[in-house]
Amino acid sequence: MAKPAKSGIKLIKAAGGLLWRDSDDGRQVLIVHRQRYNDWTLPKGKLDSGESWEEAAVREMEEETGCQAKIDQFAGIISYSVGGRPKVVIFFHMTPQGKCKEIPLASEMEVDAIQWVTVSEAIPILSYETERLLLRTVVKD
The half-sphere exposure of 102 on its side-chain side, counting CA atoms within 13 A, is: 3
Average pLDDT over residues 68-79: 97
Walk me through the domains of the chain, giving residue ranges and CATH numbers. 12-138 (3.90.79.10)
pTM for the model: 0.89
What is the chain's length? 141
Average pLDDT over residues 91-102: 91
- Judged against a pLDDT cut of 70, whether residue 141 lies above it is answered with no
Do strands 85-96 and 12-23 pair parallel, antiparallel, or not at all (unpaired)? parallel
Q: Give the model's pLDDT for residue 94.
A: 98
Indicate the pLDDT class of residue 104, thresholds 50, 70 and 90: low
Do strands 12-23 and 44-46 pair parallel, antiparallel, or not at all (unpaired)? antiparallel
Q: Give the model's pLDDT for residue 86.
A: 96
Indicate the pLDDT class of residue 110, thresholds 50, 70 and 90: confident
- Judged against a pLDDT cut of 60, whether residue 124 lies above it is answered with yes
